[in-house]
């Protein structure tokens, strides 16, 4: 019988319910259970596809092309699962499904109301979606962690008022997770226990820790597993949990890092780090794998443009100082013309100075534009997204894109990329695979008709789609690491299994890429996690996973 765990919050929006929900799922999964997760959002939008990154952070893309809340990225990374678009439930989706039923006549002429029709639709959706397998073994989940979102406003009521409000809805909390900067004193726990009518062991302290990998360990140390075992009436194994050993090793390694590696992240949404949440996580996973502490230098690409020297000279020089001092350069995805010339300036610097470079989605397209302008001599080369009248359209609109409608009209979700070159660096980083399946989110593509002009000059399209019509991966000859990918590899990066393009960027930036490739992309024993630290799939061994890493020679 399916068990449901509801994680709700009542103090401040954005204080970490997503991490708590992910951590609860992680410790249950470490006990051998199959766990899924559902996020419920109150907005009327059908999905997160048209949200502003400044307001909501990044849009996370799933295998099936679902554009969803970034919390689903946390669920996937913590639990190592593959979710679908229906794991993110919105008010818009529910109302749309109910209205569609009404139009079909499913309600037999009844007056359709919030209660019972909308409330029933929510319950039916959750019950149905909770049964969808999300693990690689295809087994139906046993536990579903549900996170209903706040409406986004700041909430100032203290803990006992939040609990009182919950009781007013006929619900009693089983566990109260208290976010705090330091460990809660016993007197405070007892006070919360008394005023909220729960036992002291039901008050869990979630204090600040050195890394989010420590949160599942923190919950486990306070007896959350044994409590949930009793409350859910589920026989949970008490054997040493291999998966949590892995998390402890990751946390310990994270705390011990001494060597630093800096990456310049050149984008247009740099004022709000959640806009690049998965990109930052992918960089962190790769840095951890090679035992380096990551430093991200956020650069607003608009300040790299020549006109910024007149308009904002201080910001212009600061931006260029950050770019020039970074060990590697990353240009992530994005939309719109603002800041694109600055990104092209960053690409130009990386190419000329032989700085390790990774371009993702738009970043790859702008690398194509930069090369066309400065090496092929096509000075007006551009994407038709930014200059529809350019005489050298090196990036063009895809045929299936519907410009009349914005939502859900991109090339979305998991697509296959075939490697056309056996000697490419990126193919080696993927374990010499013949193809990879990665997630996409784009409306424009490299113009395939101009491919030969680039390849004659050493700018190679080493990965293409199955038909050979879409350019998916670029590499530049005679450069330490100059790679562009049309897909978004950050969406499938995991703490124990970093994304290969990001790993390559970190390796090259730390000066370790060549030695790593010469060793056949093999691990040094001291950079692996121990055999005691099982993978994130129930009952499987860590030895089945290949964690890319290098020795510190």
pLDDT digits (tens, 9 = 90+) for 199-228: 988 999 999 888 888 999 999 999 898 899
Is 538:33 a contact under the CB 8 Å cutoff? yes
For residue 487, how far is the Cα from the chain centroid? 13
Q: Which of 208-222, 460-474, 524-538 has the lowest mean pLDDT?
A: 524-538
pLDDT average, residue stretch 64-70: 91
Q: How far apart are the first and last CA of the chain?
A: 52
For residue 29, how far is the Cα from the chain centroid? 20
Distances (CA, A) of 216 to 9, 164, 251: 18, 27, 11
Q: How confident is the model at residue 544 (pLDDT cuts 50, 70, 90)?
A: very low
More confident residue, 56 or 175: 175
Write down the pTM of the prediction. 0.89
Position 180 scores a pLDDT of: 84
Active site residue 261: no
- Of the ranges 205-219, 476-490, 535-549, which is most confident? 476-490
The one catalytic residue in 56, 370, 488, 521 is 488
Is 394:382 a contact under the CB 8 Å cutoff? yes
β pairing state of 471-476 and 459-464: antiparallel
Position 537 scores a pLDDT of: 40
Q: What is the mean pLDDT of the chain?
A: 86
pLDDT, one tens digit per residue, over 112-127 is: 999 899 999 999 999 9
CA 227, 232, 233, 236 dihedral sign is: negative
Q: How many CB atoms lie within 10 A of CB 243?
A: 25
pLDDT average, residue stretch 351-371: 95
Active site residue 389: no
Residue 494's φ and ψ, nearest 5 degrees, are -130, 155
Q: How confident is the model at residue 66 (pLDDT cuts 50, 70, 90)?
A: very high
Active site residue 440: no
Q: Which pair of tokens denotes residue 78?
A: 């913590």
pLDDT, one tens digit per residue, over 502-511 is: 999 999 999 9
Q: Is 180 helix (H, G, I), strand (E, B) or coil?
A: strand
Whether the bond into 116 is cis, omega within 30 of 0: yes
Cα dihedral 91, 93, 98, 102 in deg (nearest 10): 130
The one catalytic residue in 144, 196, 205, 361 is 361
The one catalytic residue in 67, 147, 220, 490 is 490
Share of the chain above pLDDT 90, in %: 56
State which H helix or E strand residue 288 sits in.
helix 277-289
Helix axes 242-256, 277-289, angle to 10 degrees: 90
510-519 long-range Cβ contacts below 8 angstroms, 24+ apart: 510/259, 510/261, 510/290, 510/292, 510/327, 512/290, 512/550, 513/356, 513/425, 513/480, 513/481, 515/550, 515/551, 515/553, 516/548, 516/550, 517/425, 517/428, 519/550, 519/551
């Amino acid at each position: 019988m399916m068990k449901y765990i509801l994680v709700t919050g009542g103090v401040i929006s954005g204080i970490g319910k997503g991490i708590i929900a992910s951590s609860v799922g992680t410790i249950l999964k470490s006990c051998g259970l199959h766990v899924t997760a559902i996020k419920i959002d109150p907005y009327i939008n059908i999905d997160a596809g048209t949200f502003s990154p400044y307001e909501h952070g990044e849009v996370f893309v799933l295998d099936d092309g679902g554009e969803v809340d970034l919390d689903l990225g946390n669920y996937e990374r913590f639990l190592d699962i593959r979710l679908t678009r229906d794991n993110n439930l919105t008010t818009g989706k529910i109302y749309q499904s109910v209205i569609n039923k009404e139009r079909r006549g499913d309600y037999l002429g009844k007056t359709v109301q919030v209660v019972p029709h909308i409330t029933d639709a929510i319950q039916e959706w959750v019950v149905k979606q909770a049964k969808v397998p999300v693990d690689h073994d295809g087994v139906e989940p046993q536990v579903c962690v549900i996170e209903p979102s706040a409406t986004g406003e700041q909430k100032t009521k203290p803990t006992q008022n939040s609990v009182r409000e919950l009781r007013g809805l006929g619900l009693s909390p089983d566990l109260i997770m208290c976010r705090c900067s330091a460990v809660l004193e016993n007197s405070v726990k007892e006070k919360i226990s008394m005023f909220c009518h729960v036992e002291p062991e039901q008050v869990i302290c979630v204090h600040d820790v050195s890394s989010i990998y420590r949160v599942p360990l923190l919950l486990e140390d306070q007896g959350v597993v044994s409590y949930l075992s009793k409350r859910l009436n589920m026989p949970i194994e008490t054997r040493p949990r291999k998966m949590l050993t892995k998390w402890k090793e990751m946390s310990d390694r994270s705390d011990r890092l001494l060597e630093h590696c800096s990456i310049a992240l050149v984008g247009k949404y740099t004022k709000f780090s959640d806009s690049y949440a998965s990109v930052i996580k992918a960089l962190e996973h790769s840095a951890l794998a090679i035992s380096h502490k990551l430093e991200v230098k956020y650069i607003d690409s608009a300040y790299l443009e020549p006109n910024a020297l007149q308009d904002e000279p201080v910001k212009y020089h600061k931006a260029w100082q950050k770019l020039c001092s970074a060990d590697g350069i990353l240009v992530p995805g994005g939309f719109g013309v603002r800041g694109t010339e600055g990104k092209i300036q960053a690409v130009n610097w990386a190419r000329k100075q032989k700085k390790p470079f990774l371009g993702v989605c738009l970043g790859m397209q702008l690398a194509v534009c930069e090369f066309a302008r400065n090496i092929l001599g096509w000075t007006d080369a551009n994407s038709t997204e930014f200059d529809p009248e350019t005489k050298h359209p090196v990036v063009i609109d895809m045929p299936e894109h519907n410009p009349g409608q914005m939502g859900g009209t991109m090339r979305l979700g998991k697509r296959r990329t075939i490697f056309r070159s056996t000697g490419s660096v990126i193919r080696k980083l993927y374990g010499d695979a013949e193809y990879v399946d990665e997630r996409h989110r784009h409306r424009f593509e490299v113009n395939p008709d101009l491919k030969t002009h680039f390849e004659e000059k050493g700018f190679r399209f080493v990965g293409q789609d199955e038909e050979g019509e879409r350019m998916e991966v670029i590499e530049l000859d005679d450069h330490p690491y100059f790679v562009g990918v049309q897909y978004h590899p950050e969406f499938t990066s995991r703490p124990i299994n970093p994304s290969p393009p990001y790993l390559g960027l970190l390796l090259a930036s730390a000066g370790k890429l060549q030695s790593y490739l010469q060793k056949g992309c093999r691990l040094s024993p001291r950079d692996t996690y121990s055999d005691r630290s099982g993978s994130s799939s129930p009952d499987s061994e860590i030895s089945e996973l290949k964690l890319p890493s290098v020795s510190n020679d």
